[in-house]
Amino acid sequence: MVESVSDFVPYGRRCRKLRNSARCRLQKVYDACEHQHTKMSSAPSIEPTDVPPAAAPELAVPAGPANVEPATGFEFYRTQFALLAGFTVPPEAKSRFEARAAQIFHSRCESLRDQTLVGSPSVIFMLKNLREIHAEMGINKIMCSPCNEQRAGGFIPGSGILLCENRIMGFGMMEDTLTHELIHAYDHQRFEVDWMNMRHHACSEIRASSLSGECRWWREFKKYGFGDFVKHHQACVKRRATLSVMAHPHCRDKEHAETVVNQVFDSCFADTRPFDEIYR
């Protein structure tokens, strides 16, 4: 599930943050032409949201046009430049570019996943606790795949964790996303969560948003500037949990999601298991 760990940043901020790196330019071009294969127009425009794991398989979409040979070398960079400059690109060249971009995203995602599994204290801690409750999450259950909306990942009961390779931009985002999803996996095993129950879903989203690190004050400060430093964490957790619950099939509207989140917030926010407290 992903709003929390998936901290989607608008292209302008991402490019400034990455200092207009080639990786950011590639992401921008790829997403611009990705509309041919996905329905991004229906996705939230501000922050990614989670969906109940029962619906999570819908996150995965084809990586690109089938049976298309990826562009290589000069052709790839020529097409990238043409798309960035707004020139008309033949459909075949665009398909070959997309196929190569999809390969790059998949390789990057797997590399970041592998680094995080051995280099992130929060991820290592969650994996240890999952083993202790007989819910081991091996690398074969943490999959990289393109996603059809602005989210960073998802937890699928019985299958594992999906990481959205065309959304995750770096190690920090991978760490938060994976920690978020591992908390969902922990809740599913430890508390027998009924994901079609909105209160259960909201409680797990509150815990994942609070404990994953995506609501730490420095991230919120960089996104929104000065604010209420005393209550920023709680406000961030509520906002992210509400966005996630809005994607629940039984949720009528934002007000309905906010009501459910508020009903369970105090008890779920106070429950930091398996952590001793909120560290990040």
Which sequence positions are flagged as catalytic?
181
Closest alpha carbon to 215 in 239, 191, 194, 247:
239
Measured between alpha carbons, how far is 28 from 1 in angstroms, rounded to an integer? 24
Report CA-CA distances (Å) from 207 to 24, 37, 52, 76.
31, 34, 15, 43
Closest alpha carbon to 167 in 47, 249, 41:
47
With contact defined as beta carbons under 8 Å apart, do 29 and 93 qualify?
no
In terms of C-beta distances under 8 Å and separation of at least 24 residues, what long-range contacts does 277-280 make, across chains too?
278/210, 278/211, 278/233, 279/122, 280/122, 280/211, 280/212, 280/213, 280/216
